[in-house]
Amino acid sequence: MVLSSAWSKQRKDVRALLRPFAVPSFARALPLIALDLGVFLAGSYAVVAASEIALKFLASLLVGLSICRMFVLGHDACHQSLTSSRSFNAWIGRILFLPSLSCYSLWAAGHNVAHHRFAGLRGKDIPWVPLSPESYLRLSRGARWLYRSYRSWWGAGLYYGVDVWWRQQYFPRGKVRRIFIADSWLVTVFAALQAALYISAAIHTGQSPALLLACGMVLPFAFWLWMAGFVFYVHHTDETTRWFDDETEWRRVQPNLDGTHGSRLPLRIDLVLHHALEHTAHHVNPAIPCYRLTEAQRALENHYPTEVPRRSVTMRRYVEITRACQLYDGRQQRWVTFAEVDTAPIVVATR
């Protein structure tokens, strides 16, 4: 969506509109935490107890869905919006992040600081930052293939798993703080204990350790990676999204709002994900907890129907976006497809 210049003048009004929704509640948060932890444990038990492989796969899907849901709650805890207690948010957020093997402090540094402060600014923002045609052409053949895979409809999990989780959210790199190392060890120990429990359960019940590990850990984690990559992609990508290379220009047009979308999925599957796709309201005010996002997003849509339109994302629409939004020319402020670069590489590279 491209916001009008009136949006900047109305920023204070927008924030005032959403301020009543930025109220964390233990009474709302605790049942959600208990539910998701319970579903994760029940699904994990069913992976072991189910007698049919088909039932184990269904249990595996349930575990994967609970991981997605717990991550959303952990994300809120990281924003200090899940409950009103900072200390409770810090330790429950770490627990909720464990099944997704995500480090709480690394996520806070990357997401809260880099992404929320610099959304849409290349060189500082983190998730789904598109390459320019020139940068793409400078890549090796293998790196180009990987980037093209990331930008395909099926590549969301590959992108999130490699470029976000592995390179940024598991092992600390660059400026390393003690809390980063501690959280990395916490996640690693959890993964080791989880694997040990499944192997022990397999031995005691006469089942295949590989099967239980696949259904209990590998498949749910793969499901989580794809869902995370997909959700973060639709948060900030479609043909109207703009990216900037110049920070002065970026600050003038307020892309933190301009490049953020609220989306609905078919059958309202988005509601199962703790309203995580109601993203415009979240970027305006990250202090709004997920259980109040729907009301906040509706308030934005009702007051600014042109600037904050309702957007439905079907699988077909998602594929269309991935085919259109592949490279971004910051100077011309437009998306460029791989086909354009492949057919006229010299023209694109020298603009």
CA distance 158 to 75: 21
* DSSP secondary structure string for all residues of 256-278: HHHT--BEE-GGGGGGGGTTTTB
Task: Outline where DSSP puts E strands in 277-346.
Answer: 311-312, 327-329, 334-336
Return the higher-pLDDT residue of 50 and 256.
50
Q: H or E stretch including 148?
A: helix 141-150
Indicate if the alpha-carbon torsion angle 47, 50, 55, 59 is positive or negative.
negative
Q: Looking at residue 8, what is its pLDDT?
A: 52
Looking at this protein, which amino acid is placed at residue 135?
A: S
Q: Render pLDDT for 55-84 as a digit per residue (tens, 0 to 9).
A: 999 999 999 999 999 999 999 999 999 999
Q: Render pLDDT for 236-285 as a digit per residue (tens, 0 to 9).
A: 899 988 899 988 888 776 644 556 788 889 888 888 999 999 988 998 89
Q: Looking at residue 1, what is its pLDDT?
A: 40
For residue 348, pLDDT over 80 is answered with: no
**Lowest-confidence range among 38-42, 142-146, 303-307, 338-342?**
303-307
CA distance 105 to 110: 9
* Ranges of each domain in the chain: 6-349
Q: Nearest CA to 66 among 37, 92, 89, 29?
A: 37
CA distance 193 to 203: 15
For residue 174, pLDDT over 80 is answered with: no
For residue 332, pLDDT over 70 is answered with: yes
For residue 347, pLDDT over 60 is answered with: no
Tell me the pLDDT of the chain averaged across its residues: 90
Lookup: tokens for 271: 């509601």
Say if CB 184 and CB 103 are below 8 A apart.
yes
